[in-house]
Structure 1
Amino acid sequence: MNKLGGSSVNKMDRKTIERNRRILMKDLFFKLTSLIPPQHSKPAKELLSQLDQLDQAANYIKQLGERIGELKRRKRLLALRTADETNNSINNSVIGLKLPILKFTDLGCSFEVVLISGHKKKFMLYQVISILEDGGSEVVTVSLSNIGDNVFLILHAQVKVCRVGMDTSGIFQRLQALIS
């Protein structure tokens, strides 16, 4: 009796599980077909079989994937083109100037040195720092950037002893000699 009672309960459980699975699949199918815009379904959705509607959904998803790939490719191309245009505009604006460029700004007890060098004339960062330190200053910050073929170097330095000061014209002349 246990076997018969147990098997009938088992059959009921299987039937319930299968019914719930079918209900869930129908719900998922209707959600899927509702996501497809009407312009992408060829004949009316009501006239197509479920298999045809699933095929349309799969084709629509493939089209979206291809479109996403194409848009990502175009985005990369635009980003590269924008970066190239930015580099070209910077290079063109610097090309008009005679390189290397030295700009020395005295701010009292501190100063700023801006050096822009092309690929033809190279100098080492330690050489610039040693000239500044030999002149009685201490380098506080250094910023070095390579943009295109140009090297941009910005140094901020301050006088070690503000009351004594320093010879800024001597430092400027030594830097000029280094980059010339």
Structure 2
Amino acid sequence: MTRRGRSSSGVDRNALERDRRQHTKELFSRLGFLLPTPLSQRSLPELLDQATTHVKQLEQRVEMLKQKKQLLEGSGTDDRTTGIRDHMMSDARSTVLTVSDLDSILEVCVKSGSNKKFMLHQVIQVLVEEAAQVVALSYSNVGDRIFYTIKAEAVSPRIGIETSRVRERLKELML
């Protein structure tokens, strides 16, 4: 009789383990569908690496969007951001420039007033001269303000982009 009790408890453990593995498999499958890359046959370590990378990218994007929000609200920047205001901060219509370096992507945000002549092609020219390739550009008009967002990546990832040099050249351009 004790043998039978042990074997039924072993069957219970096997069933519990099978259910646990099935549940884990379902969770990993759902995780795979949440990733931006198409679902294919990935090993578990690859899936976890991709998920980790994706979460880090999302965190960087949240930080970048917070900086962009500050720029658009005109609240200025704090020490954590790499934003710069030109010397005409007292003028509410002055141009505001923010340069953010997010791994391999460089984001340039410009808030320009209508009273300031601003040439977008000059900003793009500086980026190209600094070995950056523009991958996305957007703008919007709000009242008499124009908001530009330019995303660029290094032409050669091994060399990269010298963010501080780009920032200084763009700052000179805004004066």
Return the TM-score normalized by structure 2.
0.47
Which has the larger Rg?
Answer: 1
Q: What TM-score, normalized by structure 1, do the two folds share?
A: 0.46
Q: Which structure has more helix as a fraction of its residues? A: 1
